[in-house]
Amino acid sequence: MMDLHAVTGGNRLALSRLLTEVENETETGRASLDRLFVNSGRAHLVGITGSPGTGKSSLVSCLARQIRREYQKTVAIVAIDPSSPFTGGAILGDRVRMRDLAGDPGVFIRSMASRGALGGLARSTAGVVQVLDAAGFDLILIETVGAGQSEVDIARLAHTTIVIEAPGLGDDIQAIKAGILEIADILVINKADMPGVENTERALRANLDLGHSPRMNHNAAHMISAGEDDTAEQEGWMPPVLRTIATQASGIEEVVEVIFSHRAYLQQTGLWQHRDHERLRAEVGHLLQNALMQRWQKTVPAERYEAVMQQVFDRKISPGSAINNLVNGGNNL
């Protein structure tokens, strides 16, 4: 059993060890998560997503430094992008910035090992974030690479989602396609000293005007409950478009101010709680599916399952009949 008092008391080594257990989904990790859960629910979770080449990691460093300096809040950074300098692939300038941050006891940096299945990554990221939350960090910055559904799932962990673009990456098109704009609470155009910044901003604003709708709700757990009021996610926050040059620490104050305004907006409107509940419903829904599958697997021998699948492969029985046979106790094998 882990020493959880050490974790909540600020012992960084104990925290790191626990995060490894949680990442590896060990029994100890799971039991510790369960016990720490009562301490969670206080941190402001900020998802930061953007394509490679947008300067995302530099921006995350700048944001962390600004939050420390001007607001004296503690910050944890969770880096999921495998190409992120936080996870090792740093150029020198980045490394200097990271080291600078790493010397601050109010900052904790965790890079997630790259796992095969992004679904699994999203799951263990949720656990890591929950531990950091329970450990008392005021803000948790979750850096993801920003492509596809799995990233959107990770972004859905957050109270506030920042989407980073940069001029000249063709990302105006890319963003629309991937549905990334739908999840953005704040849009940042980094590298704003590069040519094409006006075009990027124009494309982003046009897409915002056209397509912005409140966060979509693809919550899997919703199928088992209608207790939540989805209409709580109403218009009212129009994502601002901000320009930064992270390498010169330019425009950073405004981004941090908007992060805190968004927090105030969420709390005033009840959306803070709504997103928290939505997140927990999704988590319980996933755990429930897994638990039901595991319980069922114990009752049905693998050979029986394979025999039924073979009949499906041979087109002797349909998938629907297979389920009838396997779950509802049909015995027509």
Helix H or strand E segment including 266: helix 252-269
Least separation in angstroms between CB 253 and a second copy: 31
Q: What secondary structure letter does DSSP report for 58?
A: H
274 counts as binding a second copy under rule CB under 8 A: no
Q: Which is nearer to a second copy, 158 or 252 (CB)?
A: 158
2 counts as binding a second copy under rule CB under 8 A: no
95 counts as binding a second copy under rule CB under 8 A: no
Residue 26: how many other CB atoms lie within 10 Å: 12
113 counts as binding a second copy under rule CB under 8 A: no
> Segment 199-258, which members bind a second copy (CB under 8 A)?
218, 223-225, 227
* Residue 65 contacts residue 77 (beta carbons within 8 Å): no
Going residue by residue from 130 to 149, which x/- string records binding to a second copy, judged by CB under 8 A? -----------------xxx
The CA distance from 161 to 34, in Å, is 26
292 counts as binding a second copy under rule CB under 8 A: yes
> Alpha carbon 161 to chain centroid distance?
9
Of 104-112, 190-198, 264-272, 278-286, which segment contacts a second copy by CB under 8 A? Answer: 278-286
194 counts as binding a second copy under rule CB under 8 A: no
Q: By C-alpha distance, which of 49, 77, 64 is closest to 149?
A: 49
* Residue 164 contacts residue 55 (beta carbons within 8 Å): yes
Distances (CA, A) of 262 to 186, 225, 258, 325: 9, 28, 6, 52
The CA distance from 145 to 56, in Å, is 9
Which phi and psi (to 5°) does residue 217 adopt?
A: -120, 90
Provide the 3-class DSSP secondary structure of residue 169: coil
Least separation in angstroms between CB 113 and a second copy: 19
Size of the site for a second copy (CB under 8 A): 62
* Residue 280 contacts residue 225 (beta carbons within 8 Å): no
40 counts as binding a second copy under rule CB under 8 A: yes
87 counts as binding a second copy under rule CB under 8 A: no
Token duo for residue 333: 């094998």
Q: Which is nearer to a second copy, 138 or 283 (CB)?
A: 283
Q: Which residues contact 214 (CB under 8 A, 6 or more apart)?
A: 233, 234, 235
> Segment 161-190, which members bind a second copy (CB under 8 A)?
169-170, 173-174, 177-179
Least separation in angstroms between CB 252 and a second copy: 26
Q: Which is nearer to a second copy, 29 or 251 (CB)?
A: 29
The CA distance from 261 to 296, in Å, is 47
The one among 41, 88, 89, 236 contacting a second copy by CB under 8 A: 41
Binding site for a second copy (CB under 8 A): 30, 33-35, 37-41, 51, 117, 119, 147-150, 169-170, 173-174, 177-179, 218, 223-225, 227, 273, 276-277, 280-281, 283-284, 287-289, 291-293, 295-297, 302, 305-306, 309, 312-313, 315-323, 326-328
